Every structure is written in C-alpha cells, then in structure tokens.
Amino acid sequence: MNQYSETGDDEEDASVALLLRNLGRREQPPLAISASVRQNAHDEWRRVVAQREQRSRIVRYAALAALITAVAGAASLHWLRTGTDFVGFVARTQGTLEIAAADSPWQRSSIAAHINEGTMLRTGYDAHASLIVSGESVRLDRDTWVVIRNADRISLERGAIYVDSRVPALASLRHELEIETPLGVVRQLGTQYAIRASNSGLEVSVREGRIQIDNGHTRYEAVHGEQLAVNASGTVERRSILPNDPSWQWAADMAPPFEIERQPLSVFLEWAARELGKTLEYDSPEVRSRASNVILRGAVSDLTPQQALMAVLATTPFKQQQTSSTIRIEL
C-alpha cells in the first residue's frame, strides 16, 4: 500500500487534534462493536506482517545497499576494493538464476546473494535477473551467462546484459565496468546500454550516453540512439534505436526496485520515465510544483516501473497520459 502527504500536513493535524479536544469525551461504542473493531484491527495487523515477511526477501538487498552506503567514504571504499573480493549482490530475479564460484557446482541463487570476484551467473531460457555490481545496475536477459572477473570487469559468455551506471543510492561505490566479449571489450562512456553476444557477432545498443568497443586493433564508438552490430569478420553496421524501443522492455522490467519511502513524487516519476525510455512532462508549472511537494510512503519493491507508476499515482490526485514517447502528469 502506498500513501502520500503534502507539505503543511502538520498544521492540519494540529487543528484536528484541537477540534477533538474541544468536543470532549465521546460516547463509548457497544462492546460487540468494540470487539469487532479490535478483531478487524488484529486481522489487518496480521495481513500487514505477512505482507512484510513476503516482501522481506525482495527488499533485503536495499538494506545491504544502505549499509554499504552508510559506511562509504575514502577508507571504507578502499577496504571494499582491496580487503575483500565482494563486489555486489543479486537485487531481483524472475525465473531461475544459478550462481557458482570457481570450481564449485551451480546452485539456485536467492535475493541478496553475495557476488564475489570470480562468481559465475546464468539465467534459464525463461529467466531474467537484476544485479548490483560495483555500484552499477547490471541486468541479465534470458539464457545469459556472465563471469564477474573483478570489480571492474565482467565477461559476457553468451546472451545479453543491460548496464545502468546511474544508481543514486550507490553512487559513492561506482566503478566504470568493462564488459569483455569474444569480439572485444565494451567500455562505457555513458550510463545506459545493452550488449548481446553470440557466435555470429556482437550487438551494442546505447540508450543514454555513449560507449566504446575495443577489439585490440580498432576502436568503435556509439552514442545514445545508436546500435552497433559487429560480426565475426569485423564488419560493422550502424543503426538507429529509440530509447522506448520494445527491445528495452525486458531490461526495464528488471530494474532494481525503487525505494519510494519519503521520496518526492517528482523524483519517483523521473525514475519511472527514465526506466521506460520516455520523456516526463507536466501539464503546468503548478502541477510540477505540487508533484515536488508530495512525499510518498510505502513500497513498490515487487513491481515493474510501469506497474509501480500506475500503483503510486493511484494513491495521489495526479493522473497520467502516456504516449509511445512521453508521460504527461495532470491533475
């Protein structure tokens, strides 16, 4: 369940409290009604507890991230880089994600599972996964196999991954990851891109920022809105790709959960629009201002960005109008 409040609520609460005091002692309800109310409250409490327990596995990574962020700084960051081989954790799974250390058997991974240097991960034919590696969001498409070499490099053995380096909660821990493929190393010079590797070639799509492919002999660059296809013979084809192209959908659905608790609605809307590859618009400056003053409560940890957008707005006076490229917020 999500709730929201706007600035000025404290004054309203004080006025309500004064009014209740002036009304004096209220008549007590019949015992039967009191018992029914207590039972309903108890049932609701049990429902909320059960819901929280069910959600705890999903949001455990957030607590881990918060702990890392809290101790981050020059000294602690140095410890994370040199004193341990821990480089990340599993943020979200859909279907079966398997994980294995070097020379160890594969086993099913759980939410918040640690990722160390040398860790191998693979998704099944009907599975996706979302990881946090070195402060960046790394999402695995179906039938994908990666090896986390170290805090700076991931090997893409097969399948496709999506990388987003803009995770505000983990900004202090961010490394610039290099993605190693059979046809070259992909280096990010931006923030959102996808890589698909196969025996026949390499395909890199840039949603935001720019990337560089280095095969040891030649370097290729692509900027946002471009897709490079490199085949085994070295031939390169350059195409266009929109930020809201359907091929990004799987990556958006595996976005790390957004922690909405005490966040302004405007910040959440910016996150949702970015994940969906759409431009955020407001019906007027007043609507934009009001969205900035709305403070959200609750959680949307188990929802995709599109589902979260619908759920959050349903608890506010705001409405949305979506096109293929924009999200317009209205009152």
Q: How far apart are CA 57 and CA 54, in angstroms?
A: 7
Task: Give the residue with greater pLDDT, 66 vs 213.
Answer: 213
User: Average of pLDDT values for 143-165?
Assistant: 94
**Tens digit of each residue's pLDDT (9 = 90 or more) over 164-204:** 988 765 555 666 789 999 889 999 877 899 999 988 899 99
Does pLDDT of 76 surpass 70?
no
Task: Give the residue with greater pLDDT, 45 vs 149.
Answer: 149
Q: How far is CA 157 from CA 160, 228, 292, in A?
A: 9, 19, 44
- At 79, is the pLDDT very low, low, confident or very high (cuts 50, 70, 90)? very low
User: Average of pLDDT values for 217-237?
Assistant: 90
User: Average of pLDDT values for 103-128?
Assistant: 92
Q: CA dihedral defined by 29, 30, 31, 36, rounded to 10 degrees?
A: -70
Does pLDDT of 309 surpass 80?
yes
DSSP E strand boundaries for 32-169: 86-94, 97-100, 107-108, 114-116, 120-123, 128-133, 136-140, 145-148, 153-164
- At 49, is the pLDDT very low, low, confident or very high (cuts 50, 70, 90)? low
Q: Residue 240 in contact with residue 226, Cβ under 8 Å? A: yes
Q: Which residues of 116-139 are buried (b: 16+ CB within 10 A; e: fewer)?
A: ebbbbbbbeeebbbbbbbbbbbbb
How confident is the model at residue 7, as a pLDDT? 56
User: Average of pLDDT values for 35-62?
Assistant: 50
How confident is the model at residue 110, as a pLDDT? 86
Q: How far apart are CA 205 and CA 219, in angstroms?
A: 16
In this structure, the number of other CB atoms found within 10 A of the CB of residue 67 comes to 10
Q: How far is CA 70 from CA 29, 74, 79, 197, 303, in A?
A: 49, 12, 14, 37, 26
Among 133-142, 162-171, 226-235, where is mean pLDDT lowest? 162-171
Among 115-124, 138-147, 213-222, where is mean pLDDT lowest? 213-222
Q: Give me 155's structure tokens.
A: 């090997």
How confident is the model at residue 24, as a pLDDT? 54
Handedness of CA 266, 4, 90, 200 (dihedral sign): negative
How confident is the model at residue 59, as a pLDDT? 43
How confident is the model at residue 96, as a pLDDT? 94
What does pTM read for this prediction? Answer: 0.75
How confident is the model at residue 277, as a pLDDT? 96
Q: Which residues of 253-280 are buried (b: 16+ CB within 10 A; e: fewer)?
A: bbbbbbbbeebbbbebbebbbbbbbbeb
Report the chain's mean pLDDT, rounded to a whole number: 81
**Tens digit of each residue's pLDDT (9 = 90 or more) over 265-305:** 999 999 999 999 999 999 999 999 999 999 999 888 889 99
Q: Give me 82's structure tokens.
A: 């040199």
> What are residue 26's DSSP bridge partners?
none
Does pLDDT of 206 surpass 90?
yes
Spell out the domains of the chain, with CATH numbers in brackets.
74-246 (2.60.120.1440), 258-330 (3.55.50.30)
Does pLDDT of 72 surpass 60?
no
Percentage of the chain with pLDDT > 90?
56
Task: Give the residue with greater pLDDT, 233 vs 34.
Answer: 233
Task: Give the residue with greater pLDDT, 132 vs 81.
Answer: 132
- At 51, is the pLDDT very low, low, confident or very high (cuts 50, 70, 90)? low
